[in-house]
Amino acid sequence: MFDTSEQIENQLLAGEDSRAEFKELRLTDRGVHAPNAESVAGEMVAFANADGGTLFLGVRDGGAPGGIPPARLDAVERWFVNIATENCDPPIRPIVRKHVLLAKGERKHLILGEIPRGLYVHRTTGGRYYQRIGSSKRDLAPAELARLFQQRGREYVFDEQAVLAAGVSDLNQHRLEAFFGRSPTIPWLDLLRNTRVTVRDEHGADHPTVAGLLAFAAEPTDFLPSCFIEAACYAGLELSSDHLTHVERLAGPASDQIDAATAFVARFMQQAGPTAGKGAYDIDVVDEAIVNAVSHRDYAISGSKIRLFLFADRLELYSPGKLPNTLTLDDMPYRTFTRNQLLVSFLSRLRSKRTGQVFLESRGEGVRKILRHGDAHSGRKSEYRLFGDELRLRLWARQNS
């Protein structure tokens, strides 16, 4: 948006407008004292809910570059990115650039935070919906907010969001060829765009979508740090480090995570405790549960991962995200819901290395199968429960006599 010194200087002279906001920073030994996080989040949300824009950090309201001390640039950048991640809902992924200007013979260091037009409607974690109008942010009236949701309704799908830090080269060509074939009938880039593995930004550059990375990147966590499964085995009945016998971080593409998590349970269920052992769990049920967790977790919740705990008497699987729309715990076995439609479409064609079968058969029977077969195998009632922004499944181990 502002790629050259001339463009930046011209904007500073012109002042704030619908695509530019100036922010002077007050720094203390402890970090950025002003402006506060909610205020900056409001500016980000306002740009994202409009057509995008850039925050100029280290610039006074009138356009004079006050600058940022060079030694504090990295700390300011972390502060800015943290606000975009933690104070905006859903999180915003800004493009952050550092720039040096000459002002009255002095070098002034600035940070430019570019906020792309949102693929969905954003708000601050304080609950405010803003939109950029001219040179200021404005609260959206209910009717305006309804229209914005309607306009971006098709785009309100997190797994179709472009991951701007990643490029086409970050996708694994071998995985793509195994999925689409080695010689597609149209150019590769057109194929990736048509299937929404990638999308183009406003400058024409191609970036993988969230689902594209999860399905086809060698290591999605390079760009989506919390998109992995943490698996742990405990010899006792409680979540205690005293009883922890093994822990693994299961990363890689979504399909590999599913296979690895299922293998983890198959491997360690004999070590969990004296009452559980070989055959403690129906592995097909475990596999179905993990597929559901990976398919339907809320990937927009930053910093949250899927957690799998294996205890002496039970398995617990925690998946980030509340139930979508009007779905309830009681009607989960009887209604279908798909939070990540694009990822689900990929998993319905990707095959497990463990079974050779596709991960999802799109029959909407997953939850019903998990509960019915889990109950039959253990003789105890399996259950889903909500704890804040996490959905927990508990499967009981079959007890050895």
The predicted structure's pLDDT at residue 277: 53
Domain with CATH 3.30.565.60 in the chain: 229-396
Q: In this model, does residue 304 exceed pLDDT 60?
A: yes
Strand 95-103 vs strand 130-133: parallel, antiparallel, or unpaired? unpaired
Confidence label for 119 from pLDDT (cuts 50, 70 and 90): confident
| pLDDT tens digits for range 328-372 | 888 888 777 778 889 999 999 999 999 999 998 755 578 998 999
Structural tokens at position 91: 């999180």
Choose the CATH number for 229-396 among 3.30.565.60, 3.40.50.1970, 1.20.120.160, 3.40.50.300. 3.30.565.60
> What does pTM read for this prediction?
0.64
The predicted structure's pLDDT at residue 154: 45
Between CA 262 and CA 267 the distance in angstroms is: 9
Amino acid letter, residue 289? A
Structural tokens at position 118: 């949102």
The predicted structure's pLDDT at residue 279: 82
328 vs 270: which has the higher pLDDT: 328
The predicted structure's pLDDT at residue 28: 93
Q: In this model, does residue 153 exceed pLDDT 80?
A: no
The predicted structure's pLDDT at residue 183: 87
313 vs 361: which has the higher pLDDT: 313
Mean pLDDT across 53-70? 94
Which neighbouring-strand residues pair with 211?
none
Fold exhibited by the domain 5-148: 3.30.950
Domain with CATH 3.30.950.30 in the chain: 5-148
Q: In this model, does residue 156 exceed pLDDT 70?
A: no
Mean pLDDT across 230-236? 95
| pLDDT tens digits for range 10-30 | 999 999 999 999 999 999 998
